[in-house]
A and B are shown apart, each in its own frame.
Chain A
Amino acid sequence: MSRGGRLATVLGLFLVVVGLVVWAVASLLNPGVPGGVVNFTKTQAAGQPVQLTVQTVGSIGFGAHPTWVSYLVKDPTSGKWIHATSWELPAHTLVNMTIDQYDSGSPLRNQEWGQVLGTIGSTATLNGTSFSVYNSNTGNGVGHTFAIPTLNISVPLVGVSGNPCGAAPCHFNSPHNVETFSFKTPGAGSYNWQCFVPCALGYLFGNGGAMSTQNYMGGELEVVNS
Chain B
Amino acid sequence: MSPESAIGSEENHFRRIVIIWVVLSVVLDLLFWFLVGPHVPPGRMTSTAKDNQFDFNVLMVIGLPVVIGVWEWLGYAAVKWNVKRKDMPESVGGPGAAGNKRTEVSWIVITTFVVLCLAVFGTIALYAGNGSGSGEGPNPILQPAGAVKAETAALAGTGSWSPNSNEVLPVQVIAQQWKFTYRYPTFGGFESPDLIVPDNTEIAFNVTSLDVIHSFWAYQLEVKADANPMQNNVAFTKTEQLGNFEVRCSELCGIWHGAMFNPGKVVSESAFMTWATTTESTNATNTANLAPFAWTYVPDANGAAGGYYPDGNVTPYSTVEIYGSKQPS
Q: Do A's and B's CB atoms come within 8 Å in the complex?
A: yes
User: Inside 8 A of B301's CB, which chain A residues have their CB?
Assistant: 204-205
- Contacts known (A111-B291, A112-B193, A136-B289); A106 close to B305, Cβ less than 8 A: yes
Output the least CB separation between A112 and chain B (Å). Answer: 5
Pick the contact of A150 from B254, B261, B305, B308 — CB < 8 Å?
Answer: B261
- Contacts known (A149-B179, A149-B260); A137 close to B304, Cβ less than 8 A: no
- Contacts known (A109-B176, A112-B193, A212-B254); A203 close to B289, Cβ less than 8 A: no
| Residues of A160-210 whose CB lies within 8 A of B | 192, 194, 196-207
Task: Give CA–CA (A115, B194) in the complex, Å.
Answer: 14
Residue from the set A112, A115, A192 with the largest chain B CB neighbour count within 10 Å: A112
User: Inside 8 A of B222's CB, which chain A residues have their CB?
Assistant: none
Output the least CB separation between B272 and chain A (Å). Answer: 19
Task: Give CA–CA (A77, B324) in the complex, Å.
Answer: 57
Pick the contact of B259 from A150, A205, A206, A212 — CB < 8 Å?
Answer: A150
Interface of B is mostly: loop
Contact A111 B194 (CB under 8 A): no
Contact B255 A218 (CB under 8 A): yes
Task: Give CA–CA (A214, B259) in the complex, Å.
Answer: 13
| Residues of B289-314 whose CB lies within 8 A of A | 289-291, 299-308
Question: B211's closest neighbor in chain A, by CB?
Answer: A205
Contact A152 B193 (CB under 8 A): yes
Instruction: Indicate whether A114 reaches chain B with its CB closer than 8 angstroms.
Output: yes
Question: A143's closest neighbor in chain B, by CB?
Answer: B304
Instruction: Indicate whether A117 reaches chain B with its CB closer than 8 angstroms.
Output: yes
User: Inside 8 A of A203's CB, which chain B residues have their CB?
Assistant: 303
- Contacts known (A111-B307, A149-B260); A194 close to B178, Cβ less than 8 A: yes
Pick the contact of A196 from B176, B289, B291 — CB < 8 Å?
Answer: B176
Contact B289 A201 (CB under 8 A): no
- Contacts known (A194-B256, A207-B254); A112 close to B181, Cβ less than 8 A: yes
User: Inside 8 A of B302's CB, which chain A residues have their CB?
Assistant: 204, 206
- Binary contact readout B264-301 vs A (1 if CB under 8 angstroms, 0 otherwise): 00000000000000000001011001110000000111
Instruction: Indicate whether A57 reaches chain B with its CB closer than 8 angstroms.
Output: no
Pick the contact of A197 from B191, B194, B291, B304 — CB < 8 Å?
Answer: B304
Instruction: Indicate whether A49 reaches chain B with its CB closer than 8 angstroms.
Output: no
User: Inside 8 A of B299's CB, which chain A residues have their CB?
Assistant: 109, 198, 205
Task: Give CA–CA (A152, B292) in the complex, Å.
Answer: 23
Instruction: Indicate whether B241 reaches chain A with its CB closer than 8 angstroms.
Output: no
Question: B284's closest neighbor in chain A, by CB?
Answer: A133
| Residues of A48-94 whose CB lies within 8 A of B | none
Contact B181 A199 (CB under 8 A): no
| Residues of B110-166 whose CB lies within 8 A of A | none
Output the least CB separation between A103 and chain B (Å). Answer: 10
- Contacts known (A107-B306, A110-B174, A198-B211); A152 close to B194, Cβ less than 8 A: yes
- Besides A149-B256, A154-B193, 9 more A-B contacts (Cβ < 8 Å) are A149-B178, A149-B260, A149-B262, A150-B261, A152-B193, A152-B262, A199-B304, A205-B301, A206-B302
The 21 listed contacts between A and B (C-beta, < 8 Å) are: A106-B304, A108-B307, A109-B210, A109-B300, A109-B308, A110-B174, A111-B191, A112-B286, A133-B286, A137-B307, A149-B256, A150-B259, A150-B261, A152-B194, A154-B193, A192-B256, A198-B211, A202-B303, A204-B301, A211-B177, A214-B255
